[in-house]
Amino acid sequence: MTVCVPEGAAPPRSFYCRPAEEVARDLLGAVLVSTLDGRTTAGRIVETEAYVGPHDPASHAAARVGRTARNAAMFGPGGTAYVYRSYGIHWCVNVVTGPEGYPAAVLIRALEPIEGLAVMRERRGGRCADRELARGPGRLAQALGISGAQNGVRLEGPPLWIRAGPGVDPAMIEAGPRIGIRHAADWPLRFHLRGNPWVSR
């Protein structure tokens, strides 16, 4: 199923209420926007990973884990944010997919910065090449000022939301194994724009 969304508009809930793998593909080219501390930053999504459901052993909401305080947002309705802390240091941003009660999500792994680059650089510690501003899930969360405070918010408007992009040629989408996981490491659920310089690897 394909959901067409006008460029610049926030996708309707039906866009997110689909399998995570489809949403992960369709989020490429969309724009993630944050307005926090009165400052707006935004970037084009160039790399995603899908965590497709309870049967996905790499998911924080895998069946062996079940529902917990940390992953509760994954059980919410499609189109909400799931933000978690990684390695005790970084924040990572996911978009919840599928119907309410079915835990699945798409990790946003890299952005091409398009708005608020100076703010991003400041949040990233001052001296930082454009290339490094939002390449990798931890970096992009830092650049956009996202933390656990945004866990569970709906992605329909400020402080954190997504705007549809112009659409991407499916031939430009490359799929491969997800990064940094051990379970189901061979499932090809990482998607990125082919040859794009802003992706994390």
* Interface ranges with DNA (CB under 7 A): 49, 51, 58-61, 64-65, 68-71, 74, 82, 84-90, 92, 94, 105, 107, 124, 132, 135-140, 178-182, 200
- Structural tokens at position 63: 């069946």
* Closer by beta carbon to DNA, 58 or else 173: 58
* Closer by beta carbon to DNA, 39 or else 124: 124
- Residue 104: φ, ψ to 5°: -155, 155
The least CB distance from residue 127 to DNA, in Å, is: 9
Reduce the secondary structure of 2-25 to three states and give it as a string: CCCCCCCCCCCHHHHCCCHHHHHH
The least CB distance from residue 72 to DNA, in Å, is: 9
- Could you give the C-alpha distances from 143 to 2, 84, 182, in angstroms and in order? 31, 16, 27
* Closer by beta carbon to DNA, 127 or else 170: 127
Contacts with 90 (C-beta within 8 Å, 6 or more apart), sequence order: 137, 138, 141, 142
The least CB distance from residue 29 to DNA, in Å, is: 20
* Closer by beta carbon to DNA, 71 or else 80: 71
Residue of 162, 161, 170 whose CA lies nearest to 2: 170
Find the radius of gyration of the CA atoms of the chain: 15
The least CB distance from residue 169 to DNA, in Å, is: 26
Cis peptide before 159 (omega within 30 of 0): yes
* Closer by beta carbon to DNA, 26 or else 49: 49
